[in-house]
Amino acid sequence: MTFLRATLIVMVSSVVLGVLGCATIPVADMQHVTSILTTGGSADAFKFDRTPQTGPFGIGNRIYFLTTLRWDDTSSGAGNHKVKWKWYSGEKEISILERTFNFNTTPFELRGSILASALGAGHHKVEVYIDDKLFDSKNFDVAE
């Protein structure tokens, strides 16, 4: 029983020290770098087309919203943060995608996407929240 208790104490201590050792940089200390709306998506992060869409998206496009952010301490990550993309058609909320990311290096890029057909033709908006704080947004149009 003593060995089991000692093992449990070591395990709990390791978890506590691990949590304390993970730095979390608050959203207020992150700086917005760029925002891009594009259709140039790819599964390969190094071949992703970062050409901004200048006109309306076509109804058959997949729309990507790329938000790049940074923080001052380049020697450490910013920790885990909850990210939420809200897609709107006019004032009506159409879709919410929520994920948790480990912001491990600076700069850090967030990518959210939606099919233009899910929004329909018209004027739209996307908002990005980090830890429930509005961080970025863009307006755009979809044509038939």
Kindly tell me if the per-residue pLDDT of 12 is higher than 70: no
Strands (DSSP E) contained in 1-144 are 31-38, 57-58, 62-70, 79-89, 92-103, 108-115, 122-130, 133-143
pLDDT in tens, 13-34: 444 334 434 569 999 999 999 9
pLDDT in tens, 92-137: 999 999 999 999 999 999 999 999 999 999 999 999 999 999 999 9
Q: Would you state the pLDDT for residue 89?
A: 97
Backbone angles phi, psi at 50, to 5 degrees: -100, 25
**CATH fit for domain 26-143, picks 2.60.40.2550, 3.90.420.10, 3.30.2420.10, 3.20.20.190:** 2.60.40.2550
Give all strands of the β-sheet with 31-38 in edge-to-edge order.
31-38, 62-70, 108-115
> In sequence order, what are the beta bridge partners of 81?
101
> C-alpha dihedral over 112, 115, 118, 124, to 10 degrees?
60
Indicate the domain borders of the chain: 26-143
Letter for the amino acid at 116? A
pLDDT in tens, 66-97: 999 999 999 999 999 999 999 999 999 999 99
Residues 6+ apart with CB under 8 A from 11: none
